Amino acid sequence: MPTITLPDGHTADIRFKMREFRDLWRDGTIQRMQALTTAEGGDLGEFYPVLARVIRSWNLVDDDGQVLDPTLEASYDELDPSQFMALVQAVSGMMSGGETAKN
């Protein structure tokens, strides 16, 4: 399982299988994500369903020190922007066949 290191030193484990990609493609989530990366504006929340499906674990906590659950979309609202964008870049790279997360 690929592990990425976020800008603040936290880590996240990503596992993304073709069956998940197909489901997200079929429901239009992937196309909405692609539109966000090529256009200005939009809702970054469009990335939440994808991240919640492919990020299997992480060591991120909220402001009160409670561990966040990466499978819950609400957890992504608790992240710092740099953490969130690093996750988006890593997952987008894996989907496009570009850079993969480093172990």
| Structural domain contains residue 48 | yes
| 103 is a domain residue | no
Kindly report the pTM of this predicted structure: 0.80
Q: How many domains does the chain have?
A: 1
Q: Which domain holds residue 80?
A: 3-96
Instruction: Note down pLDDT in tens along the chain; length 103 residues.
Output: 789 999 989 999 998 888 888 888 898 877 777 777 655 667 788 889 889 989 999 999 999 999 999 999 999 999 999 999 999 988 888 877 655 444 4
**Which conformational region is residue 102 in: left (phi greater than 0), alpha (psi within -120 to 50 degrees), or beta?**
beta
Do 50 and 36 touch, CB atoms closer than 8 A?
A: no
